[in-house]
């Protein structure tokens, strides 16, 4: 068992994106970008999978004996200026463990069941096709993130939640206010969206439909007393699902499109053999990763992890992008191979692993498949407008960087 006493490495967003640090040691003591609390960074595939599935690691530091701080997540929220009374909107489901997590997750799983998600394919195809036709007809340059990815994923998640079509523009605007991080916009954005969700739940209680808002109400009514949700928990769950159903998939789709533009030989291969499409989607997820760095987990006792002693109360952060590029698991991990077929048990972990694996994984797979099919198999694909150096990326606190400027045209 190894003990490390050296000062933590201060990583940059680029170093996380390069995924080049996890193969020197099973764990590295690091300080993630724009944070001050040192954590262990796990980047080797087997170590990441182990920690994500080990019940001795929890997301809530307060559940660790002798610990009373909020951990890295609280530091990031404090830095963002989020008052304590707003924390539930971002922490519900994400920062809870064990029975509490299972109780919350059970109430939203019905809306993301494979059958329900598969039934969305015609709707997603129509949204992608109509927007593509409109942009292609104009012939103008557009930003892929804001002009294509955001509108598509917003429409889809609003369908799932049950947001009325007439209100979707307002909901998208409130989410943009929240995501802006600007003090005079992000708190009012949360307030307005929470108020809207409260009213939506009232409307669905009076007139149920086939949507997540109605599912929550039905599930809660059928649950045992100790499994029921408070109204505030219902509102926070819907807020979280709208939030995570828009920004992360929009960034991923933009990065996936950039990856395809950077690999014309592979896109030509996909056109020649469209049967590769499902495998290509999984390879894009491995190569890009929907989330680069997972939530920090805290050891509830001293644990040996990859031959390294992690002491009780210490945090371990999963480098998902790095794990997906581990040469010990994926041959030539830096190469995009749209026909790649991983060995059994070594699929990508872009959606995480274990109890907190992304609820929306099936939806993300479907959205990516439809988008690639519509843009590269039904059409000739996109071209960069302004050259590769026109692409802009932005780093997020505690994470890697994601594309925010991808000018393209049909």
Q: What HEC string does 124-147 produce?
A: HHHHHHHHHHHHHHHCCCEEHHHH
Token pair for 357? 């694996």
| Cα dihedral across residues 173, 176, 180, 185: positive or negative | positive
Domains of the chain, CATH where assigned = 9-340+347-379 (1.10.630.10)
Judged on CB neighbours under 10 Å (0-12, 13-18, 19+), 350 is buried
What confidence score (pLDDT) does residue 20 get? 53
| Element containing residue 305 per DSSP (H, E) | strand 303-305
* Half-sphere exposure at residue 102, Cβ-oriented, CA atoms within 13 angstroms: 5
Measure the CA–CA gap between 167 and 19, rounded to whole angstroms.
41
DSSP 8-state code for residue 149: I
Measure the CA–CA gap between 389 and 370, rounded to whole angstroms.
28
DSSP 8-state code for residue 85: G
What confidence score (pLDDT) does residue 371 get? 97
Return the beta strands (E) in 226-382 as ranges: 293-299, 303-305, 308-310, 315-319
Beta-carbon contacts of residue 33 (< 8 Å; ≥ 6 apart): 11, 12, 13, 16, 395, 396, 397, 398, 399
Question: 285, 199, 261: which is closest to 391 by C-alpha?
Answer: 261
What confidence score (pLDDT) does residue 182 get? 84
159-204 tens-digit pLDDT: 999 999 999 999 999 998 988 878 789 899 999 999 999 999 999 9
Q: What's the per-residue H, E or C state across 228-262? A: CCCHHHHHHHHHHHHHHCCHHHHHHHHHHHHHHHH
What confidence score (pLDDT) does residue 5 get? 46
Measure the CA–CA gap between 144 and 409, rounded to whole angstroms.
9
Residue with tokens 């210490």, as numbered in its chain = 314
- pTM of this prediction? 0.93
SS3 41: strand
Residues in the chain predicted with pLDDT less than 50, given as ranges, are 4-5, 22
Measure the CA–CA gap between 240 and 86, rounded to whole angstroms.
12
Measure the CA–CA gap between 318 and 289, rounded to whole angstroms.
12
Count of other CB atoms within 10 angstroms of residue 285: 22
Q: How many residues in the chain?
A: 410
């Amino acid at each position: 068992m190894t003990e490390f006493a050296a000062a933590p490495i201060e990583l940059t967003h680029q170093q996380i994106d390069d995924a080049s640090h996890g193969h020197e040691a099973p764990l590295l003591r690091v300080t993630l970008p724009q944070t001050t609390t040192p954590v262990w960074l796990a980047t080797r595939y087997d170590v990441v999978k182990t920690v994500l599935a080990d019940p001795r690691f929890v997301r809530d530091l307060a559940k660790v004996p002798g610990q009373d701080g909020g951990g890295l997540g609280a530091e990031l929220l404090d830095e963002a200026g989020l008052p304590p009374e707003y924390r539930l909107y971002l922490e519900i489901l994400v920062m809870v463990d064990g029975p509490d997590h299972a109780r919350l997750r059970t109430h939203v799983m019905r809306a993301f069941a494979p059958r329900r998600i598969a039934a969305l394919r015609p709707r997603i195809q129509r949204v992608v096709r109509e927007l593509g036709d409109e942009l292609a007809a104009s012939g103008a340059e557009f930003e892929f993130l804001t002009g294509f990815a955001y509108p598509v994923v917003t429409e889809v998640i609003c369908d799932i939640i049950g947001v009325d079509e007439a209100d979707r523009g307002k909901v998208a605007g409130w989410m943009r206010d929240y995501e802006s991080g600007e003090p005079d916009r992000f708190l009012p954005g949360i307030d307005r969206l929470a108020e809207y969700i409260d009213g939506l739940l009232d409307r669905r209680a009076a007139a149920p439909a086939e949507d997540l808002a109605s599912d929550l109400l039905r599930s809660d009514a059928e649950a045992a007393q100790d499994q029921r949700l408070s109204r505030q928990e219902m509102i926070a769950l819907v807020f979280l699902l709208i939030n995570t159903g828009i920004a992360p998939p929009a960034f991923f789709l933009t990065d996936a499109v950039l990856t395809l533009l950077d690999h014309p030989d592979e896109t030509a291969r996909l056109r020649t053999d469209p049967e590769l499409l499902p495998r290509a989607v999984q390879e894009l997820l491995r190569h890009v990763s929907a989330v680069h760095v997972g939530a920090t987990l805290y050891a509830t006792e001293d644990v040996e992890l990859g031959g390294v002693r992690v002491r009780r109360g210490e945090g371990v952060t999963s480098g998902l992008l790095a794990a997906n590029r581990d040469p010990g698991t994926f041959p030539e991990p830096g190469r995009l191979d749209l026909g790649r077929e991983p060995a059994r048990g070594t699929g990508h972990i872009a959606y995480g692993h274990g109890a907190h694996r992304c609820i929306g994984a099936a939806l993300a797979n479907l959205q990516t498949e439809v988008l690639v099919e519509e843009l590269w198999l039904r059409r000739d694909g996109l071209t960069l407008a302004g050259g590769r150096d026109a692409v802009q990326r932005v780093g997020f606190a505690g994470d890697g960087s994601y594309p925010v400027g991808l000018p393209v045209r049909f």
